[in-house]
Structure 1
Amino acid sequence: MRCECGSPLPSPTSYCLSCGRVHTLACGVYIGKKVYLVAIGKVVETQSFEIYDEEESIRNLFEILAERIHERRVGEVYVSGEDESKIKFGFENVRRYALSDLRVYATQPLPFNEFVSKLREFVTRKKELRKVDIPPEEKIQGAHTTIIGGRLGREFLYKVALCEYVKKIVPGVITGGASSLGGGVRFKVTRCDERGNIRALLIDGSSVQEIHIVTTAKNKEQGEVILKMLKSVSSS
């Protein structure tokens, strides 16, 4: 296998040390009976690793995964697994041992083959999205200057603003119920419209604030891709 510059590559998804070309769009980590590393590029490359219960073995495993991910110079890793507990385990360890400033996203539980198929479709569509270079703090705008949830509420919106496909965040009206919903401060993306913009809710006890997120998406299909990315903010 050779890079477009003619230099040999260890694999089709390897980073080229000669010209600096990245051949991987994103990586996936799947936790099942084994741990799988999936690299999505022009081809899909999969590596499997045995997993053991010992703390030292777990550390060694995720250090190796971190090295493999770093070798491909990707900025994003998507974590899935057979169930929620395995996804949480993978998500926490991928972030803990990362060798660069990775964006790590947790997905829903899926069979392995379905995860690979959906990940490939997702990152291919994501490649078509336009990025914006706007400081996160300048994206939060609108007539409603109050943001419920105090510091935590603002942290949720700041995390949304870090997304390079978000152009503007507009806090909306605040409504309140008669009784507390409990659960502390929460953020939930709900749907996207036909233009690809996203509606979300910021929740603090019995108070609920609508959040309107303006994206670079051209249509609902592209907006759904961004919505999936922002869902990770709800669980962060």
Structure 2
Amino acid sequence: MRCECGAKLVSPTSFCLSCGRVHALACGVYVGDKVYLVAIGKVVETLSFEIYDEEESIRNLFEILAEKIHERRVAEVYVSGEDEFKIKFGFENVKRFALSDLKVYKTQPLPFDEFVSKLRVFVIKKEELRKVDIPPEEKIQGAHTTVIGGRLGREFLYKVALCEYVKKIVPGVITGGGSSLGGGVRFKVTRCDERGNVRALLIDGSSVQEIYIVTTAKNKEQGEIILKMLKSVSSS
């Protein structure tokens, strides 16, 4: 396999050391009977790795996986698996051993083939979205300066503000005063409107605050893509 510049590539989705061309849009990691690395580019490349119970073997596995991800110079990795436990296992270890500042997202449990199919469609559609270069702290604005949840509440909003497809975050009105919902401070992404902007709720005990997230999406279909990313960010 060769790059467009003529240089030989290690794999169809690897980074070209000669011209700096990136051939993979993103990577997926799936944890099932094995750990699978899926690189999404013009082609879909899949590598598999055996899982062993020993701590040293797990370390070696994810160190090798980190090297394979780094070879592709992707900025984003999406983690799925057969169940929530395996997804958490993969997510924590991908982040732990990453060799660059990766954005790592969790998805819902899926069969492997469905994960690969959905990931490919999602990544290709996401490439159509416009990005913004606005400092995260400048994105949080609006008439309501109070954010419930104290430091944790602001941390949730800052995580959302780090998304390059978010233009503005507007804290809304605060309601509550009834019985406590429990569970501490939580952030819940709820839906997107026809213009692709996202609604969310910040919850602290019995208090609930509406959060309006203005995105770069052109329509609801693009907004749904950003909504999925924000759901993963807020739960990590």
* Range class of TM-score, shorter chain: over 0.9
Aligned to 1:43: 43
Show the 5 A alignment for 1:52-131: 52-131=52-131
Aligned to 2:137: 137
Residue pair 2:198, 2:214 contacting (<8 A) in 1 also: yes
- What is the rounded CA distance, in whole Å, between the counterparts of 1:141 and 1:178 in structure 2? 28
Q: Give the Cα–Cα distance (whole angstroms) in 2 for the partners of residues 205 and 139 of structure 1.
A: 26
Match of 2:23 in 1: 23
Q: Distance in 1 between matches of 2:172 and 2:188?
A: 14
How far did 1:178 drift? 1.3
Q: 8 Å contact 1:105–1:232 — kept in the other structure?
A: yes
Match of 1:188 in 2: 188
Secondary structure of residue in 1 paired with 2:13: coil
Displacement of 1:39 after TM fit?
A: 0.2
Q: Is the 8 A contact 2:187 2:200 kept in 1?
A: yes
Q: TM-score, normalised by structure 2?
A: 0.99
Amino acid at match of 1:205: G
**Aligned with 2:33: secondary structure?**
coil
Identity of aligned residues (%): 89
Secondary structure of the 1:25 match is strand
**Counterpart for residue 6 of structure 1:** 6
The match for 2:153 is 153
The offset of 1:177, in angstroms, is 4.0
Is the contact made by 1:30 and 1:37 (CA closer than 8 Å) also made in structure 2?
A: yes
1:233 CA drift (Å): 2.5
Provide the alpha-carbon RMSD of the alignment: 0.6
**Secondary structure of the residue that 1:178 maps to in structure 2?**
coil
Which deviates more from structure 2 when the two are superposed, residues 5-14 or residues 123-132? 5-14
1:156-191 alpha-carbon deviations (Å, 9 max, x no partner):
000100000000000000000411111010001000
Listed as ranges, the gaps of 5+ residues in structure 2 are none
Runs of 4+ in structure 1 over 6 Å off: none
- CA shift, 1:30, in A, is 0.2
Cα distance in 2 between the residues matched to 1:234 and 1:173: 20
- Between the aligned partners of 1:99 and 1:4, the Cα distance in structure 2 is 26
CA contact (8 A) 2:165 2:216 kept: yes
Q: Find the residue that maps to 2:202 and give its secondary structure.
A: strand
Aligned counterpart, 1:33: 33
Q: Write out per-residue CA displacement over residues 2-37 of structure 1, whole angstroms, 9 at most, x where no aligned residue.
A: 111111112110100000000000000000000000
TM-score (ref. length: structure 1): 0.99
1:71-124 CA-to-partner distances (Å, cap 9, x unmatched) read 100000000000000000000000000000000000000000000000000000
Q: What code does the residue aligned with 1:131 have?
A: K
Aligned residues of 2:193 and 2:220 also touching (Cα < 8 A): yes
Matched AA of 2:207: S
Supply the AA of the counterpart residue of 1:20.
G
List gaps (5 residues or longer) in structure 1: none
